[in-house]
Structure 1
Amino acid sequence: MSLTAPPAPAPRITYGAVLGSPYVARLLGGTLTGRLPNGMAPVAILLWATASGSSIAVGGLLSALYGLASALAQPVKGRLMDRHGQSAVHLPAALLNSTLLVALPLVGAYGGSGLAAALVIGGGLAAPPLEAGLRALWPSVLPDPRLRHAALSLDTGTQGLLYIVGPLLVAALASAHNPAVALAVTAALGLVGTATVALSPPSRRWRPDRFEDQDAAPVRRLAIPAMTLLLVSLTGIGVAIGAMNVWSVSMAEHYEQDMLAGIIPAAFSAGSLAGGLIYGRRTWSGTATRRLIVSTAAFLGGWLPLLALPAPYAATAAVAVPGACLTIVVACAYVTTDALAPKGRTTEAYAWLILSIGAGQAAGTALAGHLAEQPLASAALPAAGAAFALAVLLAARQRLSPTGHPQRGRHRRPLRGRHETH
């Protein structure tokens, strides 16, 4: 009989403990506020363009240019943060972004569509990279891997709220006042939220890891096969999301229920939030790579009921399932990216992850628009995107695993708590 008492189980992680940790509530709240323009600006730009006499097509193009410019600039801004720190990038970017959004209704209408496009593209390029920056801050703010795991899940799960609250807030402001006011509020929220993060001590103190010697320099390449395959797989996740948004519009038109165009994406986002809250409450066994593959398989399975062309209520309930899996997929993708990225390039790697999903979302939107008149093909496209993501991950699983060649020597940041099971 052993006289040694069994080890006490680890205390259960609560979101109160996460939010009560120093700076977490400030960083999370500031990031969500600063990223609200991601959900507000495209809608506000579209409403301003149509209110100024432009066609919906022109307004849609300006809106798309803002989103595309913002996505394409992510890796550049991520690399700048890795070289110069976060505050040096966040604050100038937020100031320029807010200035251009406010200037759009003041001078855009007088300079024609060319000047409006230039302002919109400039604003998108200057959008502060708050999402990638926050992910880079978590290891220094929350050294405990379990708290960091919960924070990442909470952070990822709440992202969907941006695309529910943002458009609703713009619609309310434009209705009560005008689209110019909506743009001004968008700019103000972006500036306030970014300043809240950038002026916080963790952001001001943050510096990326550096190589200690020149012999390690060749390892600094970001475009290793494992990272490339991971990013390619995530484009499939983006395709599914983009296709779902267009499919919801098709459902609204088919059933003549305009609200479906907003309700279905809202159900997807609500599922994402719920999935993140559930996933973050416990520490999971196994590697992040395994969880990434399993959650992607579940994400694919969640889309399959759409192939039966369900009625509106059933369709709304069905999309909550892949929504719940999405948070787990993205959270595990960030952990895997963190393990693959070389020292000094972590934020840039996170930015490429964001770009990959965004590029896939744009492709999914375009493909779904082309297939909108074919109900079965339109409903199948989200599953096709998820199947592509799963196929690439399965093909790459040996490279992505902790024993795969691309990751040798990668577990070398004990002070930042790089644990595969977090």
Structure 2
Amino acid sequence: MSLTTPSTPAPRITYRAVLGSPHVARLLAGTLTGRLPNAMAPIAIMLWATASGGGIALAGMLAAGYGLASSLAQPAMGRLMDRHGQTAVHLLAALANSSFLVALPAVGLRGGASLAVGIVIAAGLSMPALEVGLRALWPSVLPSPRMRHAALALDTGSQGLLYVIGPLLVAALTAAYAPSCALIVTAALGLVGTAVVALAPPSLRWHPAQPTSGHAGSVRRLTSGGLVLLFAALAGVGFAIGAMNVWAVALAEQHGQSMLSGIIPAAFSTGSLLGGLVYGRRTGKGTTTSQLIAAGAAFLAGWLPLLAVLGPGAATAAVIVPGAFLTIVVACAFLTTDTLAPAGRTSEAYAWLILSIGAGQSAGTALAGRLAEHHLASAALPAAGAAFALTVLLAGRPHLRPAGHLPGSAGATARPQPEAIAPEHKPNTASMSLT
């Protein structure tokens, strides 16, 4: 006669425990501080350009150039980290980025618009890939998968605060001093935050995972069918965010309430933070893929009330819902990327994911700008982006799993897909390689 003891449920993970783990608070605070320039620099550049007599057209071109350059540079930064580690890459990038931001007001427009454009693009290209680096550090900092799950959710959700605090800080510095002061403070915050992360022991010790014997060639192949589909879906998510920002401006002009252009994105970011806090404490049921698709469906459903052409108060409340599910979509997308990316290329894969969101956001902003005068079409664009993302996820579901779980993959060996937690090891091969 055998006796069995009922299994004891795992204790609930608390954010106090996560933040109290060695290095976690430092890495998270440093990354958020170092990434403030993402939210501050475009606005500070625009205010500086207009105050210097450059005009709104030049100001917009400079801000767009900075944002596009910083997005395009992320995969290259990720690959450099995979080859040379994080500390040197982070510090050199931060020094260059800060130097260019400080040089912009120092040089001014005396050298002409072309010189200003060159400085801004150089600053964007040298933006440190702190978000990519932090995601790569979590497995070495938090060995427990459940702790990593909570840290990833907290990390993802708290990013919305950057786009609430950053613009307000730029506005305050510009009003109290000058736009050039805002640029200098932006450069200083980026440098200090990056140094806090880059000189932390986990960053100093970090080295990318190496392919095991017999799979050394896999490190040369990054893109797989599953990753391409995932990145395409995340571009749809970014499209929804970009379209929402323009819709908020259009709604503010329609109702004569200029503050709405900032209040609505702030409400969306608040929803993202709250969603991350809730999601991080719950492991959930099902695989990461099923949670990704379910969150994508909820993200789409959250945008549908906007089709009723809501008033200011209702619209502000409505965007909290898709904001809450954005964190879950992005967190699950990072876990899926971690599962599909070959060993030694994880940081670069994370960077492509971030680039996909940024590219989609730019496309959503551009199209929404052309349709801003058509209120119903403007309100429908976020839902259209979310619908595209969900469609791609549903169509590509069989390929969003490790190689051993793809239909018809004979003889492949891969770890089972995680139950919505960060994987312990990476598969050594990626199926359906395209490059």
Partner in structure 2 of residue 194 of structure 1: 194
- Structure 1 portions without partners, runs of 5+: none
Partner-residue secondary structure (3-state), 2:319:
helix
For residue 110 of structure 1, report the CA deviation from its aligned partner: 1.5
Superposed CA offset, 1:158-180 (max 9, x none): 01110110000000000000011
1:330 and 2:330 aligned: yes
Partner in structure 1 of residue 241 of structure 2: 241
Partner in structure 2 of residue 404 of structure 1: 406
For residue 56 of structure 1, report the CA deviation from its aligned partner: 1.0
**Partners in 1 of 2:400 and 2:358 — Cα distance?**
22
**Partners in 2 of 1:394 and 1:215 — Cα distance?**
30
Aligned positions of 1:139-154 closer than 5 A: 139-154=139-154
Partner in structure 1 of residue 320 of structure 2: 320
**Partners in 1 of 2:210 and 2:273 — Cα distance?**
35
Partner in structure 2 of residue 225 of structure 1: 225
For residue 416 of structure 1, report the CA deviation from its aligned partner: 7.0
**Partners in 2 of 1:92 and 1:8 — Cα distance?**
49
For residue 212 of structure 1, report the CA deviation from its aligned partner: 3.1
Maintained 8 Å contact 1:340/1:410: no
1:363 and 2:358 aligned: no
Partner-residue secondary structure (3-state), 2:396:
helix
Partner in structure 2 of residue 292 of structure 1: 292
Q: 1:30 to 1:331 in 2, by over 3 A?
A: same
1:390 and 2:390 aligned: yes
Q: 1:214 to 1:8 in 2, by over 3 A?
A: closer
Among 413, 424, 430, the alignment partner of 1:417 is 424
Partner in structure 1 of residue 432 of structure 2: none
For residue 5 of structure 1, report the CA deviation from its aligned partner: 3.1
Aligned positions of 1:2-401 closer than 5 A: 3-213=3-213, 215-218=215-218, 220-401=220-401
**Partners in 1 of 2:287 and 2:135 — Cα distance?**
19
For residue 109 of structure 1, report the CA deviation from its aligned partner: 2.1
**Partners in 2 of 1:218 and 1:264 — Cα distance?**
44
Maintained 8 Å contact 1:109/1:116: yes
For residue 276 of structure 1, report the CA deviation from its aligned partner: 0.3
Superposed CA offset, 1:347-386 (max 9, x none): 0000000000000000000000011111111000000000
Partner-residue secondary structure (3-state), 1:384:
helix
**Partners in 2 of 1:84 and 1:216 — Cα distance?**
18
**Partners in 1 of 2:81 and 2:393 — Cα distance?**
29
Q: 1:177 to 1:315 in 2, by over 3 A?
A: same
For residue 88 of structure 1, report the CA deviation from its aligned partner: 1.6
Q: 1:51 to 1:176 in 2, by over 3 A?
A: same
Maintained 8 Å contact 1:45/1:62: yes
Give the stretch that moved more between structures: 341-350 or 221-230.
Answer: 221-230
For residue 105 of structure 1, report the CA deviation from its aligned partner: 0.2
Maintained 8 Å contact 1:93/1:127: yes
Q: 1:70 to 1:406 in 2, by over 3 A?
A: farther
Q: Which amino acid aligns with 1:225?
A: G
Maintained 8 Å contact 2:237/2:357: yes
Count of residue pairs brought into register by the alignment = 420
For residue 411 of structure 1, report the CA deviation from its aligned partner: 3.2
Q: Which amino acid aligns with 1:232?
A: A
Maintained 8 Å contact 2:211/2:218: no
**Partners in 1 of 2:16 and 2:215 — Cα distance?**
44
**Partners in 2 of 1:212 and 1:266 — Cα distance?**
45
For residue 216 of structure 1, report the CA deviation from its aligned partner: 3.8
**Partners in 1 of 2:263 and 2:251 — Cα distance?**
11
Q: Which amino acid aligns with 2:406?
A: G
Q: Which amino acid aligns with 1:319?
A: V
For residue 417 of structure 1, report the CA deviation from its aligned partner: 2.0
Q: 1:411 to 1:84 in 2, by over 3 A?
A: farther
Maintained 8 Å contact 1:108/1:119: no
Superposed CA offset, 1:102-137 (max 9, x none): 010000322111111011000000000000000000
For residue 286 of structure 1, report the CA deviation from its aligned partner: 1.0
Maintained 8 Å contact 2:211/2:219: no
TM-score by length of 2: 0.93
Superposed CA offset, 1:1-30 (max 9, x none): 974432221111000000000000000000
TM-score by length of 1: 0.96
Q: Which amino acid aligns with 2:357?
A: I
Q: Which amino acid aligns with 1:53?
A: G
> What percent of counterpart residues are identical?
68
Maintained 8 Å contact 1:339/1:410: no
**Partners in 1 of 2:5 and 2:322 — Cα distance?**
43
- Structure 2 portions without partners, runs of 5+: 428-435
